[in-house]
Structure 1
Amino acid sequence: MKTSDFYYELPQELIAQDPLADRSSSRLLVLDKESGKTQHRVFKEIVDFLHPGDCLVINDTKVIPARLIGVKEETGAKIEVLLLKRVEKDIWETLVKPGRKAKPGTKISFGDGLLTGEVMEIVDEGNRRIHFEYDGIFEEILDRLGQMPLPPYITHHLKEKERYNTVYASHEGSAAAPTAGLHFTPELLKEIEEKGIEIARVTLHVGLGTFRPVKVDDVEKHHMHAEFYMIDSEAAEKINRTKEQGGRVICVGTTSCRTIESAADEDGHIKACSGWTDIFIYPGYRFKVLNCLITNFHLPESTLIMLVSALAGKEHVLAAYEEAVKEKYRFFSFGDAMFIQ
């Protein structure tokens, strides 16, 4: 299986640069994974496709303003630091640009010294482990100095930070948003619950590994970066009960999917747990828990389009993407949605 098998042509102008004013007014392409048939709807109509007894699994991670712009204390040279994951209390694994300027011992100042960091070690190419020093509470300083780490294909400035978070985001720790959840409003979630659909909250802190380009020709040789996840007993019980009673488990986003598939045993049963996952789902994978998926439109040749193809078949997915391009759907993080049933 080659990476190039998952390529499609996307006109630049279809990459969404800004979120819509009304989250739930995005378009929704509904794809039948067995037949490949499609329907064109509006996202708030997702409730029509959910049945009493189903369980919607959402990822309640919260994106932190993880992008910091600082200067080298010695030279004043500009340096950008992206927080990837917390290693210890004040020690973070980070992505530094330009990496060549960040040798061990380099000291970086942010916000005129409100926050300082010292490079401890090189992890790999651009990644550095940095120890931070500050007075007060780190999260409050980050809120003052940090910017939302938008993907590189979004060039517009985000006016409201909360628009790169879901309305149910609660556990801080992500470097990127679980974007399929951006379409939900509190009103829509209430309507879904009132219809008799369970909502199970899981957490997976999204790292940049999810979006790392596949640089190998052979898909199976790609390695995912590990990401931290948590499932509590309430979420596990809801998911297990849904399966036992014949309902469908519907994941909101590839991150929710990867979380429950990582936690499940071979029979698809889930226990409360936490840990690190580097699960890579591509065609040939047998889903243990998930039945349906709500997702956005993903980059060509990405691990995300491979996951979607594992569920609905590569031919059906690429045909649906071709149709979405023709119908001028909005693509990627702030774009439209797809429901695979």
Structure 2
Amino acid sequence: MPKIGNIQLPDFPLLLAPMEDVSDPPFRRLCKLHGADLMYSEFISSEGLIRDAIKSRQKLDIFDYERPVGIQIFGGDEEAMEMSAKIVDTVQPDLVDINFGCPVKKVVCKGAGAGVLKDVDLMVRLTKAVIKGTNLPVTVKTRLGWDENSINIDEVAERLQDVGVQALTIHARTRAQMYKGHSDWSHIARVKNNPRIAMPIFGNGDIDSPEKALEYKNKYGIDGIMIGRAAIGYPWIFNEIKHYFNTGEHLPQPSMKDRIEAARNHLIWSMEWKGERVGIVEMRRHYTNYFKGIHGFKDFKQRLVTTDDHNALLQIFEEIRDAYANYQFV
């Protein structure tokens, strides 16, 4: 069973990826409810934390029912990373994670996220600064390399472990691939099979079904899997994978009632955490995913994304339940 510091994880844990504008406390709560073993905050700018930017500070909110939970930070300046690690320490998550994988231009341009893949010495210095700034276990999420001509994950893994990183999650794409093309997990397997590597190695990229999760578990020998986009609007994926691992059988698809309950809870928890107005508006991007592929749903979706009153929204959920009382998922 993998351990990170004093955190004992279950045999082959399923991790929820830190996703900007997605992995907030309401969404994490849903994923925890449906089987996620370890979760992370949205990534937080070290500079924003030090400047006391309200949005950055709000992302530090964690709750006891989420544990174990990590807070993920990014940045390209050693001093800022050390200071932000000290700030993170004060809210007492279970671990601090460093993002060396985000491929988004505005992050990379600042020499942070996947931008650091071009400069492994800097990556090591930034990591040492974070470790110096916290008493918590430090983990890293990164990619295979900058592009296919500079895949350097083997060196990265060894050097990060040497300075004290306690687990590594590898997204099986290069920065140049962004989120396109195929992920190549053979590189992750090579890191995992390196006799020098003792820390847990988690794989990330393209896991969207129980079958694929089992195939990758057996084929690549990793210690666990991190799931990102496949959990958006579908938090059931964690328990579905676990059930399939244990029985070789599929859980029934979530019913319309299950979907309505999840969307409704997500809305209520979002309003509680963000305030009513922001909670309602920011929830709109999720409805498409909760009710994906449902025949004749267009009018309901239109109403869900244009209604401003929370009581009216709860009433729409009731109408959906009545309209689809006998709907069969195939």
The TM-score normalised by the length of structure 2 is: 0.27
Higher relative strand content: 1
The TM-score normalised by the length of structure 1 is: 0.27
Quick one: higher RCO (CA 8 Å, sep 6+), 1 or 2? 1
Higher relative helix content: 2
